[in-house]
Every structure is written in C-alpha cells, then in structure tokens.
C-alpha cells in the first residue's frame, strides 16, 4: 500500500485516472491549437468578407495573417464606401428564403403501415420545427453561408426541453426532452482535414466556443478557473495585435466575456475498434467528459456526427466552401475607386484649382479660407494675378466604368436588377422579365441544392433522435385532415426512419406554383375523364391558394374516411356496429383497403379479425341496400306521377 507524507493511503487507481484524464485533455487542446493554426488564413478571409459586408471596405489580409487597415496614399483622397455587397447579399438571402424547400416524408408504398409511418414522420417534423423555431435557425445559417461560404447545423437532444412530466427524488423537475437545432458559424468548427469535401470524409471534428464557467459547472459539475475572452469568433482568438483592426472598426461587437473558457468538443467517427465512436469534451485544461458518441443518428442506427453542413458555392478539394462575397470584393474595390475619383473630379470643378506666382499672395491665408464669395484677393504689385486652372470636363469613361461595374455586380452575384430594384430600367417586355427570373433561379440552383440536402439530413436526424429518446408515450399536437388539430400519443418505435423517403418540395416561389396550377387546370390535366374536377383536387387547389379551409368545411368525405380509420383501430379489439348516417360506400372501401394491406397480415388472430370486419361490412351493405331501394322507389313514384 502506498501512503503519502502524512501517512494517509493514496488511491493509486484514482491517481492513474487523473493522470490519464490530464494527458487526454492536453492532447485534445493541442489538437485544437494545431487545427486552428492550419485554418488561420481561411479565417482571415472570412473576417475580410464580414468587414466588406458591414461596410468597412478599406482593409485587406496581411501577409502575416489577420485583417489590417489600408492607409490612404494622400491625405486628401476621398475614401467613402458605396456598399453594394450588403444589398446584394440581402437580395440573395431574400430569394433563398422565398424558395426554401419544405421537408416532406413519402412512404415507399401505398400500404396502410407505410402511409401511417410517413404521416407520423411528417407530423413529428412539423411539430418539432414549430417548437424550436426552425425557420429562424435556417435564416441565421443561410446568412452565415452567404457571407462566409459555409454554415453548420447542430442537432442535439435537450433533456430539459418539452413538457414537465414529474420530479425526481430530489425534487428536480423532469422533462420529456426535446430536439434542438442550432445554427453554428464556421469559425467554431475545425475538421481534421481541410481538403475533405464533406462531413462524410472527415474522421474527427472539433466544435469550440466560448462558454462561461458557471455554465460549465452547471452542465458538467467541474470547476474551471476561467479568463477574459475578447473574441469575435469565440473559438480561441486572442486580442488584435498591432497593425490589425480593432474589433469596433471591423463592425463587430468586441464584448469581453468574463470568467469564460473555450469549450472544446472533439467528435471521432466510429471505427472497428471503437464501434460507437468517441466524444471528448475539454475546457480550461480539464477533461469534462469522455465517452461514445451520444446519438444513434446514422443511416443504419450507427452513431455519427450531430452536424449538417450547408454551403454557398462549393469548391473542389476544400472542406469550407466559397462565398459570393469573395467574388464581389474586387468589384466593390473598383467601384469605390471610380466613385471616389469621380467625386474628387467634381470637387475640382466646383471649387477650382488656383495657380499663383510664388510670393504674389499670402498662400497660408488662401489655403485656410479659400475663395469665399466677395473675397478681396490682394497680390503683389507687378506680380501675376492668380488664375483658375482649367480642369476640363468629367471624362465619359467614369460613367461607362460605373455602369459596367453595376452590371458586373448582378452578373457575379446571380441576382438581377429585377430583384434588387423591382423595376428594371432596361427590360420592359413580359418575356424579358420572365427570362430574368429564370436566370436568377438557375444561378441560385447550386445554393438551393445545398440547402435542400441540408434540410433532408436535418429531418433524418430529428426523427432518429425522437426514435432514440421519445419513449413509448410521447404527446404531439399536429394538424391532421380537414385542418383539424389532433392531439395524441405516439410510440417512438413507430418512427421507422429507414422505411420512408425524405424529399423536399420543388424550390419554387408560391407565385410560380400557383401559376403552374392554373396552367394545369386550363389544360384539363386536373380533371377526370368526364371533365369534372374531383373533390380531392379541388381541395388541393384551394389549399395552394390559401383558401383550403372554405372547401374543407363543406366537404365531409374526409371526415367519413377518418371515422372509418378509427373504426379499423377499434375493431382490432371489439365488434362495433355502423351508424345510419355513415357514408357506407366510403366505409366499405376503407375497411376493404385495411383487409388487403400488409399490416393486416401481421396480426396473429387474422381469421377472427377478418370475421369481425366482414360482419361489420355486411351491416354497412344492408344500410346501403336500404338506401338504394328507397332511392329507386322514390324515383319510380315520381315517374308514375
């Protein structure tokens, strides 16, 4: 037994654990520092983009790294900023917001089981997106990707989210849990390879951000020392050194975070040795957590990174994508130079340039006061009188270059003047306007495709987290048939994520969808063989135009189908009789569909259940036959009369 200097026994095993934890924490911290250093030039490019977007456009990346301010060549030079990057990015974001794909879930087949699983998955997605304000998260991530080129979504399970379901033995509230989706800036994500083109090619990923020591203690129960962090990226940046721009000049916050530490989360992909992967969390040189990846969010139930990547303009052989701001910066520099030189020329024409003979006038007084109206200019007797220098007129090249640069903003950004100005001056025909809109959509296709892929991956991970953590009786409120709000419990096992297909609606604006529907209606493609518009298609058309509730309020066929579905569930346990007011044809069709489905074949007592359904349908047929006889009798009576 080993004892210390006071003679007390030393827990050798605990000491070994502490040494291993300290060694692992140092290794993770060193790995983070190495990745940050490798990516330093890329981060400088992001900072330059954010400076130009915020309006600080007289700066550049220095050879030593970091963003430095450019000095003016002459003190009198005009250095005004005519920011076209910000409105261009705003126009792109507005267009992308309008064309954002909405997530749908489609079943593999028309079987009742697949249809119900798809309906449940769609309901869970709608329920989750509404609870976590998913639209705002996507907007934030889209802004990051447009300015810096890449943005990330972090999909996690919040144990303190959702409804409170009770209290534990210590009196602490217990919640049912809720999925959370957060937009993560590229400054906080550090892959192990910068030449990997996607998350699937990365073996490990680090998520680093600044967190207060109180939050660290509340979450992990470990006390860390803490320090002051004055950083924009919240990922380990130090104070701006000499020659670099101070944060306030960079158009950034620059708020000092007191008693904070860099929280480093390193995610390692599963391997043959580590089937569940690894997650190490370090802060302040201390190991806070070590264990497997927490979420079963892979395609086949394996554990994967809880991140989804969204790009603006993908680049081959690069993990971080390019941004439209990268392409606009040279044009913005040239545009600022042309406008400033033009204004300087106008100042020369309006104020004039005075030529004087040496010693003929008081040049100091003339420099300070200028040629004010009514000024008496005294010059030396015998000397040459001062005169204005002929500067000529403004060269036509200024206007030509300015106009060409404005066109180039639209050409490079993929956003036409129709979107920015609403009333383009050079295009007046309807065909030309439609061509401009089509060009905008085609240029935005790569970005929209990346957003669509990200939405699909997010949807899959959300459903997999609910399947892993939701339990056996999860309350959910969704909008069902006939715009009727339904509140019911569902079993997480019913979320067969691998048995449904995730698809996104076509990325088109609501106006374009409505125009397409009208064209299909005029062509007769939505009508049946008799030229009549079915009730189902009528409801869908009205819903697309925002008036679905009016027709659904009058149509009761959906209610009859829903009632038949409820009867299918009830007859699994007991016999029930139909009601006289039922639409018996619809009920018979729904019951027959269930008997022919694959779900019915899964029941062990299939014969008894079939007899129950056949007996129930016979009662429906009796009602239907009685209604037919009454109708025939009424018709014959009318003919006799």
Residue 250 pLDDT > 70: no
Q: Answer for the pair 185, 144: CB distance below 8 angstroms, yes or no.
A: yes
The pLDDT, as a whole number, for residue 161 is 81
Over residues 142-148, mean pLDDT: 93
Greatest mean pLDDT range, 14-23, 282-291, 571-580 = 282-291
Beta bridge partners of 104: 503
Residue 604 pLDDT > 90: no
Q: Range of 294's domain?
A: 15-71+150-324
The pLDDT, as a whole number, for residue 113 is 65
The pLDDT, as a whole number, for residue 638 is 52
The residue that leads in pLDDT, 244 or 532, is 532
The pLDDT, as a whole number, for residue 208 is 93
Alpha helices by DSSP H, listed for 414-556, are 417-421, 430-443, 445-469, 510-522, 535-544, 548-554
Residue 482 pLDDT > 50: no
Residue 149 pLDDT > 60: yes
The model scores a pTM over 0.75: no
- Distance of alpha carbon 266 from alpha carbon 234, whole angstroms: 16
Phi-psi region of 417 (alpha: psi -120 to 50; beta: other; left: phi over 0): alpha
The residue that leads in pLDDT, 498 or 57, is 57
The pLDDT, as a whole number, for residue 244 is 45
Residue 515 pLDDT > 60: yes
Classify residue 581: in a domain, yes or no: no
Phi-psi region of 463 (alpha: psi -120 to 50; beta: other; left: phi over 0): alpha
Instruction: Reduce the DSSP state of residue 574 to 3 states and report it.
Output: coil
Classify residue 216: in a domain, yes or no: yes
Classify residue 196: in a domain, yes or no: yes
Q: pLDDT digit string (tens) for 440-454?
A: 667 788 888 899 889
Quickly count helices (H) and strands (E) in the chain: 19, 19
- Structural domain total, the chain: 1
The string of DSSP letters for 271-282 reads -SS-TT-EEEEE
The residue that leads in pLDDT, 354 or 463, is 463
- Distance of alpha carbon 258 from alpha carbon 262, whole angstroms: 12
Over residues 403-424, mean pLDDT: 71
- Distance of alpha carbon 555 from alpha carbon 543, whole angstroms: 13
Residue 49 pLDDT > 60: yes
Classify residue 260: in a domain, yes or no: yes
- Distance of alpha carbon 303 from alpha carbon 301, whole angstroms: 7
- Angle 463-465-471 from CA coordinates, rounded to 5°: 100
Q: pLDDT digit string (tens) for 612-622?
A: 888 999 988 88
In 171-247, beta strands by DSSP E: 173-175, 178-184, 189-191, 204-212, 227-229
By mean pLDDT, which of 277-281, 296-300, 635-639 is the weakest? 635-639
By mean pLDDT, which of 19-33, 46-60, 164-178 is the weakest? 164-178
CA 107 to each of CA 212, 464, 469, 472, 479: distance values in angstroms, whole numbers, following the listed order:
45, 17, 23, 23, 19
Assign 553 a pLDDT band (cuts: 50, 70, 90): very low
Short-list 122, 180, 188, 120, CA closest to 154: 180
The pLDDT, as a whole number, for residue 147 is 93
By mean pLDDT, which of 1-5, 217-221, 255-259, 416-420 is the weakest? 1-5
Classify residue 458: in a domain, yes or no: no
The pLDDT, as a whole number, for residue 253 is 43
Instruction: Reduce the DSSP state of residue 212 to 3 states and report it.
Output: strand
Residue 57 pLDDT > 70: yes
Classify residue 178: in a domain, yes or no: yes
Greatest mean pLDDT range, 32-46, 119-133, 371-385, 571-585 = 32-46
Residue 395 pLDDT > 80: no
Instruction: Reduce the DSSP state of residue 39 to 3 states and report it.
Output: coil
Classify residue 275: in a domain, yes or no: yes
Classify residue 221: in a domain, yes or no: yes
Residue 352 pLDDT > 50: yes
Q: pLDDT digit string (tens) for 76-99?
A: 677 888 899 999 999 899 888 887
The per-residue pLDDT of the chain, averaged, comes to: 78
């Amino acid at each position: 037994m080993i004892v210390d200097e006071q003679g007390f026994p030393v827990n050798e095993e605990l000491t070994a654990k502490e040494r291993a934890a300290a060694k692992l924490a140092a290794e993770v911290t060193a790995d983070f520092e190495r990745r940050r250093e490798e990516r330093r030039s890329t981060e400088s490019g992001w900072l330059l983009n954010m400076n130009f977007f915020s309006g600080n456009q007289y700066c550049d990346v220095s050879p030593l790294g970091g963003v430095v301010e450019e000095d003016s060549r002459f003190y009198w030079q005009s250095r005004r900023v005519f920011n076209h990057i910000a409105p261009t990015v705003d126009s792109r974001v507005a267009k992308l917001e309008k064309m954002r794909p909405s997530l749908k879930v489609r079943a593999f087949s028309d079987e009742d089981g697949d249809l119900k699983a798809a309906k449940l998955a769609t309901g869970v997605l709608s329920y989750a997106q509404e609870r976590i304000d998913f639209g705002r998260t996507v907007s934030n991530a889209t802004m990051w990707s447009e300015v810096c080129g890449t943005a990330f979504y972090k999909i996690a399970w919040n144990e303190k989210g959702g409804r409170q379901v009770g209290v534990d033995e210590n009196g602490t509230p217990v919640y049912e849990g809720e999925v959370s989706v957060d937009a993560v800036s590229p400054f906080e994500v550090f892959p192990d390879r910068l030449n990997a083109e996607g998350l699937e090619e990365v073996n490990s990923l680090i998520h680093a951000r600044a967190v207060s020591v109180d939050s660290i203690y509340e979450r992990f129960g470990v006390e860390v020392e803490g320090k002051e962090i004055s950083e924009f990226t919240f990922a380990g940046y130090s104070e701006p050194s000499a020659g670099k721009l101070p944060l306030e000049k960079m158009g950034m916050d620059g708020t000092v975070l007191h008693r904070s530490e860099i929280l480093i989360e390193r995610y390692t992909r599963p391997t043959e040795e580590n089937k569940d992967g690894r997650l190490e969390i370090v802060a302040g040189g201390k190991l806070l957590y070590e264990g497997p990846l927490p979420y079963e969010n892979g395609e086949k139930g394996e554990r994967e990174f809880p991140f989804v990547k969204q790009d603006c303009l993908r680049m081959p052989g690069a993990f971080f994508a390019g941004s439209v701001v990268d392409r606009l910066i040279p044009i913005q520099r040239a545009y600022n130079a042309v406008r400033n030189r033009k204004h300087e020329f106008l100042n020369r024409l309006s104020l004039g340039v005075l030529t004087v003979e040496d010693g003929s006038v008081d040049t100091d007084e003339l420099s300070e006061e200028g040629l004010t109206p009514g000024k008496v200019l005294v010059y030396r007797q015998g000397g040459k009188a001062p005169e204005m220098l002929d500067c000529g007129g403004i060269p036509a090249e200024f206007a030509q270059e300015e106009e060409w640069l404005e066109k180039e903003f639209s050409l490079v950004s993929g956003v036409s003047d129709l979107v920015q100005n609403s009333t383009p001056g050079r295009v007046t025909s309807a065909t030309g306007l439609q061509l401009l809109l089509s060009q905008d959509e085609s240029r935005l296709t790569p970005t929209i495709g990346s957003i669509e892929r990200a939405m699909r991956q997010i949807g899959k991970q959300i459903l997999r987290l609910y399947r892993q953590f939701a339990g056996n009786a999860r309350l959910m409120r969704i909008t069902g048939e006939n715009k009727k709000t339904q509140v019911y419990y569902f079993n997480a096992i019913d979320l067969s994520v691998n048995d449904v297909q995730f698809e996104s609606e076509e990325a088109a604006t609501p106006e374009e969808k409505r125009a397409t529907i009208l064209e299909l209606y005029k062509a007769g493609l939505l009508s049946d063989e008799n030229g009549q518009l079915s009730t189902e298609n009528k409801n869908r058309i009205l819903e697309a135009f925002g008036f679905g509730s009016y027709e659904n309020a009058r149509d009761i066929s959906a209610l009859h189908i829903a009632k038949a579905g409820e009867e299918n569930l009830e007859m699994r346990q007991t016999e029930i009789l139909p009601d006289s007011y039922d639409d018996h044809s619809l009920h018979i069709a729904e019951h027959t569909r269930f008997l022919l489905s694959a779900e019915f074949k899964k029941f062990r007592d299939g014969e008894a259940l079939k007899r129950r359904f056949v007996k129930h349908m016979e009662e429906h047929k009796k009602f239907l036959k009685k209604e037919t006889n009454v109708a025939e009798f009424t018709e014959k009576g009318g003919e006799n009369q």
